[in-house]
Amino acid sequence: MARIQSYRFGHMVVDGEVYTRDLILLPDRVVANWWREEGHRLSTADLQEVVTTAPEVLVIGTGAYGMVRVPQETREALQRAGIEVHIARTGEAWQLYNELQERKRTAGAFHLTC
């Protein structure tokens, strides 16, 4: 599993690799340059790769200022898929991701800027 080494606005280091665009971390790979259909609104379609991979838990980083919104229908769809969901600003979410991945099959979806 990928381990996040650091995060600051617009910049995340994962296993020594620098990312400057939003990304999804799956238990077996990194999906770089992640883009959402509606920018700051997260839909189930935006997380299809996560659902297909079927992690136990998903940590969503909503950006440095929490600009990404996760509608109730998206949360419910993930829960129906058997995925435990944690949502936090990216500054906290990356650390939670690292903690959880030590105990559970974990995925992360991170907005790196606002």
- Predicted pLDDT at 1: 82
pTM, two decimal places: 0.97
- Domains: count for the chain: 1
Residue 82: which CATH number? 3.40.1230.10
- Pairing label, strands 11-14, 17-19: antiparallel
Alpha-carbon Rg for the chain in angstroms: 12
Q: Tokens 């903690």 identify what position?
A: 99
DSSP state of 84: E
Q: Which residue has the tokens 């659902």?
A: 51
In terms of residue numbers, what domain contains 61?
4-110
Query: Beta-carbon neighbour count of residue 101 at 10 Å?
Result: 22
**Whole-number Å distance between alpha carbons of 95 and 27:** 16
| End-to-end Cα distance, the chain | 26
What is the full per-residue pLDDT of the chain (114 aa) written as tens digits?
899 999 999 999 999 999 999 999 999 999 999 999 998 999 999 999 999 999 999 999 999 999 999 999 999 999 999 999 999 999 999 999 999 999 999 999 999 999
